[in-house]
Structure 1
Amino acid sequence: MPENVYYSTAEMVETIRTVRTPRRFFLDTFFRAEPYLSTKEEIVFDEILEDLPTMAPFVSPVVQAKPQRRSGFNVKTFRPAYLKPKHFLKPGDFIRRGAGEDLLGDLTPQARMDNAMVDTLSTQRRQIEERWEWMAARAIIDGKVIVQGEDYPRVEIDFGRSPDNEIVVTGAGNIWSNSASDIAAMFEDWSVQMLELSGHAGTDVILSPEAWGFFRQNAGVRAEAELRRGVTNTPNLQAQVAMEGVRYAGEWGEFRLWVYAGRFKDQDGNLSRAIAANDIVMVARPSEDDGTGGVHGLRCFGAIQDKSANLMPLDIFPKMWEEEDPSGLQVMSQSAPLFVPGRPNATLKATVI
């Protein structure tokens, strides 16, 4: 075993923070507010009940004013799931030449150990952030997240989205496979509904590739695109290569359009879709500067339940320790994430096919 292979917690945290990971669409687009790091096992925050303001009553100037009730708020408490990918590094991993190294192997075992440690931390961060993106997607698309796993009972975290924002388009004249369906009217109605329920109108529409195929063949959409030919915000109705599972397709009236074909892979190698083939999602995007407004997505992290962390508030906590038999180093990264749509009714899912 090479000597002096241990990294301090600060060194490992710094290494994790400098590892670059792919852009995450749902995280980067809708969860932009300052992260909330907790030293408690549960995430607790206050939801101010938004409603139309009451008009001030007419009174006589000589009549004593009557006190009015203050607006209330709900206290929401969520217990985040827990993630802790772990890898075992064996001494033999550092004796032989590594991938990409010169044929004769010009690196010392210590240098190979350093490379292996960085690669392992990078892998664990990518695994954790992939789960973050999955949780963020489920929160936006479904308004809830179902957490389950090996030795982890099924738990449903429901953020309280109104059932009215779960729409199933019916009728032969309305389903999108009918090219004469009035998609523009549907978008407008759904956006107004979001505005009434959350105070924020829809800004972004995320479509499955199948829904996008029917959208771009819709007679009304094609007629509007023809009228606006040459205008930069017109949707590009031609097929394009998707990067990282998502592509921006342009603007349609007041809506940004996205085509999302992303997949997620579990530990058994099974692939699952983010957006079902029949669905589209409408979201009120938060502000670009501080992430408030719109859906107001919050990145929350509960306490790391590890005595070495001393309840340190971190999004990812890495650690390493030595095993005697078999000899080697264990490397583990831990995270207790929860991605909360602060305004769940600023999201809407519609089954359109």
Structure 2
Amino acid sequence: MPNEIDLFSSREMLEVVETVYPVGDFLLETFFHFSDPVVHISEYVDVDVVKGGRRLAAFVNPLSEGKPVERKGYSTKTLIPPYVKPFRITTAGDLLKRLPGEHVYGGKSPQERAAYQLGRDLLDLMTQINRRIGWMAAQILNTGKVVCVGEDISLEVDFGLADTHKITLSAADKWTASTADPAGDIVEWKDLLAKDSGHVPDVAVLGLSVAQALKKNELVLKQLDNRRVIMGQIVPQDLPKGVTYLGELEGVQLYQFLDYYEDDSGVLQPMVPANKILIGSTRAEARMHFGAIKDAKAMIEGVSTPYYPSSWIPDNPPARHLMIQSAPLPAIHEIDAFASILAV
């Protein structure tokens, strides 16, 4: 049999070879202040939105009465952070099995394996949660909403991206066409977002196909500001994995972001669709929110945290249960400062 070990042959165990797929947090850090989240102790999050105007003060005679100006009203939006709580069970049988990279003889004790496995499981569950948060951010930037569907849950959080901010370029304007003018497009999008939100976009994230088309555009090659590219290397920024700085065009920083997730069918999908451009302002109000942890023990202890891990061993059947609970929601409160473009 292939797994039989010849006891009379010498063997050596090499270090384990492990493929790790780090979670790209570029979208979260760029637009949602992921490292500085807002943690709530409530199930619902209400946001009062006051939208100003661009009125000019009226001219009057200095001896006349002042011109009364009415106040702007406000609207209240209610956000419901969706809930996740990935869960893993470790049995006694799992602790009797050799770990990857462990020597066949004279290896670790069950206690050492338990401690090691606990750390690995915590990291794995946290990675799953953060990848889900990254997926939510990408969905919101792409469609203006996030649809959360799971067992016994169907929740949609819609931030109201206007149809005029969901742009599809014509065949002649697509960035793969010889008649394309990416710089001219960016100028138009800047004007649209500035007019609707008061914020001028400063970052655009390009999907793979769009980035490839941009690099081949003869007109762009003459306009693209490559001051940060020296001998093919990007300086001085130490960009995270999956991110490539492409250059600056019409005052907008252009990035390519390659990160993937498995859909419900197990098929890899890009976080940023290959044919899309996600453009927005880093100065617009957008935050990373975490709702209340719906756990009796956490509430009794007064715990307010983005992630709540817990571990316990029931008597029947005896196995260690590990779970991390979280209620994450990246939210764009000034959605008019963003647009999603089908560019190729």
* TM-score band, normalised by shorter chain: 0.7 to 0.9
- For residues 328-339 of structure 1, the aligned pairs below 5 Å read 328-339=319-330
Question: 2:227 is matched with which residue?
Answer: 232
What one-letter code is carried by the residue in structure 2 that aligns with 1:265?
E
Question: 1:16 is matched with which residue?
Answer: none
Question: 2:41 is matched with which residue?
Answer: 39
Distance across 1 between alignment mates of 2:181 and 2:70 = 44
Gap change, CA 1:67 and 1:222, over 3 Å in 2: closer
Q: Determine if the alignment matches structure 1 residue 300 to structure 2 residue 289.
A: yes
Distance across 1 between alignment mates of 2:330 and 2:174 = 32
Match of 2:261 among 260, 264, 273: 264
Q: Determine if the alignment matches structure 1 residue 348 to structure 2 residue 339.
A: yes
Unmatched runs of 5 consecutive residues or more in structure 2: 1-21, 234-238
What one-letter code is carried by the residue in structure 2 that aligns with 1:297?
A
- What's the CA shift for 1:276? 2.5
Distance across 2 between alignment mates of 1:103 and 1:136 = 44
What one-letter code is carried by the residue in structure 2 that aligns with 1:79?
I
What one-letter code is carried by the residue in structure 2 that aligns with 1:71?
K
What one-letter code is carried by the residue in structure 2 that aligns with 1:46?
D
Question: 1:10 is matched with which residue?
Answer: none
Question: 1:11 is matched with which residue?
Answer: none
- What's the CA shift for 1:121? 1.0
- What's the CA shift for 1:28? 1.3
Q: Give per-residue Cα distances to partners, 1:108-134, cap 9 Å, x unaligned.
A: 433322222111111110000000000
- What's the CA shift for 1:55? 3.1
CA contact (8 A) 2:186 2:250 kept: no
CA contact (8 A) 1:43 1:301 kept: no
> How many residue pairs were aligned?
315
CA contact (8 A) 1:234 1:251 kept: no
Unmatched runs of 5 consecutive residues or more in structure 1: 1-20, 286-292
How many percent of aligned residue pairs carry the same amino acid?
29
Gap change, CA 1:299 and 1:144, over 3 Å in 2: same
Q: Give per-residue Cα distances to partners, 1:254-289, cap 9 Å, x unaligned.
A: 11111223221145522222233322121112xxxx
Gap change, CA 1:113 and 1:234, over 3 Å in 2: closer
Distance across 2 between alignment mates of 1:175 and 1:100 = 51
Gap change, CA 1:77 and 1:55, over 3 Å in 2: same
- For residues 1-353 of structure 1, the aligned pairs below 5 Å read 22-32=23-33, 34-52=36-54, 54-61=55-62, 63-65=64-66, 67-105=68-106, 107-153=108-154, 155-170=155-170, 172-225=171-224, 232-233=227-228, 244-266=241-263, 268-285=265-282, 293-294=283-284, 296-310=285-299, 312-353=303-344
Distance across 1 between alignment mates of 2:113 and 2:162 = 54
TM-score, normalised to structure 1, is: 0.81
Distance across 1 between alignment mates of 2:74 and 2:167 = 28
What one-letter code is carried by the residue in structure 2 that aligns with 1:350?
I
Distance across 2 between alignment mates of 1:249 and 1:340 = 27
Pick which of 213-222 and 189-198 moved more.
213-222
